Amino acid sequence: MTLLRSLLFNVTFYAWTLLLGVVALPMVAAPRRSVMGFGRWWSGSVLWLARVIAGIDYEFRGSHNLRRGAVIIAMKHQSAWDTLAAPVLIDDPAIVVKRELLWIPFYGWYARRAGMIAIDRGAGATALKSMVLRARGVVAQGRPIVIFPEGTRTAVGARRDYQPGVAALYAQLGLPVVPVAVTSGLCWPRRSFLKRPGRILVEALPAVPPGLDRRQFLSELQSRIESATERLRVEAETAKRR
pLDDT at 139 exceeding the cut of 90: yes
Burial of 124 (0-12, 13-18, 19+ CB in 10 A): exposed
Length of the chain: 242
Query: Rounded mean pLDDT of 212-229?
Result: 96
106 has pLDDT over 90: no
Q: Where does the pLDDT of residue 191 fall: very low under 50, low under 70, confident under 90, or very high at 90 and above? A: confident
Phi-psi category of residue 142: left, alpha or beta, with phi > 0 → left and psi -120 to 50 → alpha: left
Across 42-46, 113-117, 142-146, least confident range: 113-117
Give the C-alpha separation, 10 to 3, whole Å: 11
* Cβ(169)–Cβ(128) below 8 Å: no
CA–CA distance, 95 with 117 (Å, rounded to integer): 6
* Euclidean distance between CA atoms 131 and 108, whole angstroms: 17
Phi, psi of 139 (to 5 degrees): -60, -40
Please report the pLDDT score of residue 125 as a whole number: 80
